[in-house]
């Protein structure tokens, strides 16, 4: 039986500028199905995975992601996440996720008060997630950042819970994997570069994996994030098919 392609939905807000990057990776690099989801339309069009892309939704007015959080499509994204659907928020998408309450904490101005745009190294802290199964725990990925508000902050109890539950997925590090102040590009607590929800189905990360997924760009570490998502959806679909197979066989036997 041929495996149906995974359907990615990339949300487009006014000011999104990495939506086409994400679409390109899903459609051209991964060879899967991909559709754009306009922010005013509360319809996810039957997607398997939702991506909230990077950019400057609503011009970052008030706070990054503060207005995008109220877009009609986000009501459906919240319902989708509540049902266990996979949601990946990249950069501005991460900011939207925390504003929507789908992830804890906040993203503040970089401590340098400057926009940071360069390749950084991030260490995989948890490889047992739908977003990192194709990585090794402790593996260092080279992925670019492009943000002015990537400084992750949360209260002590939230940080303790994130650490205890393995919800910290990525940390900024040196090329050798050391967690140092110098390798932290924005001042994030604990060098945090990406976190997930308790269920492990919603991931927010400031680095841009879609910008490190094409050999033409010289870096492909980011592709591991998308490959992990594919593996998870495919395995979930296969399990569902296996669970339904006995009843299908029995029904056919009665005919």
| Residue positions annotated with a catalytic role | 91, 208, 210
Task: Give the whole-angstrom CA distance, residue 134 versus residue 150.
Answer: 25
Task: Give the whole-angstrom CA distance, residue 105 versus residue 94.
Answer: 11
Q: In whole angstroms, what separates CA 214 from the centre of its chain?
A: 18
- Quick check: helix, strand or coil at residue 118? strand
Other CB atoms within 10 A of residue 108 CB: 17
The token pair that represents 179 in the structure block: 């967690």
- Is-contact 37 9, C-beta < 8 A? yes
Task: Give the whole-angstrom CA distance, residue 101 versus residue 104.
Answer: 6
- H helix or E strand, kind and range, residue 12: strand 7-12
- H helix or E strand, kind and range, residue 23: helix 19-24
- Is-contact 149 95, C-beta < 8 A? yes
- Token pair 């997925």 in the structure block, residue: 169
| Partners of residue 203 on adjacent β-strands | 88, 196
């Amino acid at each position: 039986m041929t495996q149906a392609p995974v359907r990615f939905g990339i949300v487009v807000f006014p000011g999104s500028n990495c939506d086409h990057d994400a679409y390109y990776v899903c459609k051209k690099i991964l060879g899967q199905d991909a559709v754009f989801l306009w922010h005013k339309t509360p319809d996810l069009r039957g997607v398997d995975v939702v991506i909230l892309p990077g950019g400057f939704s609503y011009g970052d007015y008030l706070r990054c992601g503060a207005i995008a959080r109220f877009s009609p499509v986000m009501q459906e994204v919240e319902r989708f996440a509540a049902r266990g659907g996979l949601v990946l928020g990249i950069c501005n998408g991460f900011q939207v996720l925390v504003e929507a309450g789908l992830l804890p904490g906040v993203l503040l101005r970089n401590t340098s008060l400057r926009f940071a745009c360069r390749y950084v190294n991030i260490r995989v802290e948890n490889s047992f997630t739908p977003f990192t199964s194709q990585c090794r725990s402790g593996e260092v990925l080279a992925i670019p950042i492009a943000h002015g508000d990537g400084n992750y902050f949360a209260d002590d109890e939230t940080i303790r819970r994130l650490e205890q539950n393995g919800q910290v997925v990525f940390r900024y590090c040196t090329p050798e994997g050391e967690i140092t102040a110098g390798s932290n590009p924005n001042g994030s607590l604990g060098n945090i570069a990406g976190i997930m929800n308790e269920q492990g189905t919603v991931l927010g990360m400031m680095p841009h994996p879609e910008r490190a997924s094409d050999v033409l760009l010289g870096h492909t570490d980011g592709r591991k994030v998308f490959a992990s998502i594919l593996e998870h959806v495919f395995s979930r679909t296969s399990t569902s098919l296996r669970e339904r197979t006995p009843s299908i066989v029995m029904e056919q036997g009665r005919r």
